[in-house]
Structures are given as structure tokens and as C-alpha cells.
Copies of this chain bind each other. A is one copy, B any other.
Amino acid sequence: MSKVQLIGAWFSPFLKRVEITLKMKGVEYEYIEVDLINKPPLILHHNPVHQKVPILIHDGKTIVESAVILEYIDEVWKGPNILPKDPYQRARARFWADFIDQKCVPATRKALWCRGEVQVNAIREAREALKILECEVKDKKFFGGDQIDYVDIIGSFLAYWMRIFDEVVGLHLFTQDELPSLCKWADELCDNKYIKEHLPDKERLADRVRGHAKTTRSV
């Protein structure tokens, strides 16, 4: 049996993507929690380039970057497909996952944690990006159709973390009035059996964010 270890931090939405995917595939693993403030040598050893989590170690081989890890898990282990089988649908899934990671996540983070002109621009960018996702998920249960797939797992940051951050900071980016389909998708996603057991406790996460909001004024 292969040895699978996963290094992460409890609050990380990027870690949770990997945990959700391993769970969907039925892969057993050893979880190693690390402190991201006082980073242990383990992180530098396995991820010298980015020095971030999650880090997956499979039979001694290290894989980093959550989107890359998800594709690796999908290729190595049997079980439900994470990416669609059809090349065109796979391309679409990669496009939307990339859109979430390169547009929505940076813009919403800046909108939440920056101030001044940077924040004003980021709020506009975040609203535009979320509106695009709203159109894409309209009339669908999940981005993957009736079942969650790669895009939904990548998007779990928006569905759970970002909505909590938005509530704590009071930005009101993610509202029922402006994004009804995205809100419906987020509710369905957070209620999914694979997703909900991996979501960190809402109050603990909100407390962490309140501390972060007091000290952080830039990203």
C-alpha cells in the first residue's frame, strides 16, 4: 500500500481542496499540521520555491500547489473523476479553475485586506469576476453539473472562506441580491457530503479573520 502524507494548516482553503479530493478518491493519508507563522524546516525542504502548504508526499515524491496536486490525485487514484474525461470539458474545467485562482481569489483577497485605492480597484475587479462566475453557474447545480468536480473543489474558497471573510469584514461582495446563483451553488456545495466534513469551524475561522483584519492592511 502506498504511503500518503499531507502537510497543511487547518484554516487553509488550499489544503482543504486536497483533503476533499483525497476523500472523494477514498485515499487514506497521514495529516501533518504545521505552523505557518514559524515555518518548520519541513516546509522549506519539500517546497523550497513557494514555502507554502499544502504539500502532498506520495511514496517519497513531493507534489505542491493545490491545483497541480488535484490533477495528480485524479491521475493516480481510481474513484470518481475529479476532472471530466472529455478533453474539451477538461479544458473548460481548467479554464474556470484558473479563472477562480488567478482572478477571483487575488481580487477578493485584496478587496478584503487592502485599503485605499488598491481596495477600491480590487472591489470592482472582484465584483466583475464574481458576476462572470454567476453567469457560468446559472441553471446548474454545480460547475461540474449534477456532481461536484475540479472547478467546484477549487471554488470552495469562494463558497465558504470568502463568504465568512466577507461577513466579518462587512464588504457585502457576496450577496443574495447580486449573486443569487452563486449563493445557491455555495449553499449546495457546503452541504455536499465530501465538502462539509472538511470545512473548518466557522467561528474559529471568523475569530482568526478578526485578528487578521486588525493587523493587516496589505496583502
Q: Is the interface of A mostly helix, strand, loop or mixed?
A: helix
Q: Which residues of B contact A132 (CB under 8 A)?
A: 49
User: Does chain B have a CB within 8 A of A194?
Assistant: no
Which stretch of A15-23, A58-66, A156-164, A183-191 is in the interface?
A: A58-66
B-facing mask of A40-74, CB < 8 A → 1, else 0? 00000000010000000010010111011101100
The residue in chain B whose Cβ has the minimal distance to the Cβ of A96 is B49
A90 CA to B76 CA in the complex, in Å? 11
Q: Which residues of B contact A76 (CB under 8 A)?
A: 87
Counted per complex, copies of this chain come to 2
Contact B94 A68 (CB under 8 A): yes
Contact A49 B99 (CB under 8 A): yes
Q: Which residues of B contact A99 (CB under 8 A)?
A: 49
Q: Which residues of B contact A197 (CB under 8 A)?
A: none
User: Does chain B have a CB within 8 A of A98?
Assistant: yes
The 8 Å CB contact of A91, one of B71, B88, B94, B102, is B71
The 8 Å CB contact of A72, one of B71, B72, B90, is B90
A88 CA to B64 CA in the complex, in Å? 11
Binding site for B on A (CB under 8 A): 49, 58, 61, 63-65, 67-69, 71-72, 75-76, 87-88, 90-91, 94-95, 98-99, 102, 132
14 residue pairs of the A-B complex, CB under 8 angstroms, read: A49-B132, A58-B88, A61-B88, A63-B88, A63-B95, A65-B95, A65-B98, A67-B98, A68-B91, A72-B88, A72-B91, A75-B87, A75-B90, A76-B87
